[in-house]
């Protein structure tokens, strides 16, 4: 039927804003996927907390740089294609 329900705790936001936010969630999910698969954030073979924190900081900075390159290329190429080209 093309009908779906969105449950939210944001009661002060207008309906169209809630729908806009919901439609943007795929970018967050895609970022997790890229971080885990393309940037090899997992598995972590480190034991010291400072090393683990540094590893995830490097992965996060890599994600930011990849997104900047993606935007500068006007979203013509996926991050996976960009990373493969850089490799």
- Asked if 37 and 23 count as a contact pair (C-beta separation under 8 A), the reply is no
Give the range of the structural domain holding residue 79, as residue numbers without chain letter: 15-86
Q: What is the pLDDT of residues 4-62, one digit of tens each?
A: 888 899 899 999 999 998 998 988 999 999 998 888 888 888 999 999 999 999 999 99
Q: Is residue 65 part of a domain?
A: yes
Q: Is residue 5 part of a domain?
A: no
- Copy the structure tokens of residue 59: 């992965």
Q: What is the pLDDT of residues 11-26, one digit of tens each?
A: 999 999 999 989 989 8
Contacts of 86 (CB under 8 A, 6+ apart): none
What is the domain count for the chain?
Answer: 1
Q: Is residue 8 part of a domain?
A: no
Q: Is residue 2 part of a domain?
A: no
Q: Is residue 10 part of a domain?
A: no
Q: Is residue 6 part of a domain?
A: no
Q: Is residue 78 part of a domain?
A: yes
Q: Is residue 19 part of a domain?
A: yes
């Amino acid at each position: 039927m093309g009908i779906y329900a969105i449950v939210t705790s944001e009661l002060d936001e207008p309906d169209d804003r809630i729908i806009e936010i919901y439609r943007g969630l795929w970018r967050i999910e895609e970022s997790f996927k890229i971080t885990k698969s393309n940037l090899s954030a997992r598995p972590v073979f480190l034991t010291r907390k400072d090393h683990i924190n540094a590893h995830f900081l490097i992965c996060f900075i890599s994600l930011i740089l990849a997104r900047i390159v993606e935007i500068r290329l006007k979203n013509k190429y996926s991050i996976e294609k960009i990373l493969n080209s850089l490799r």
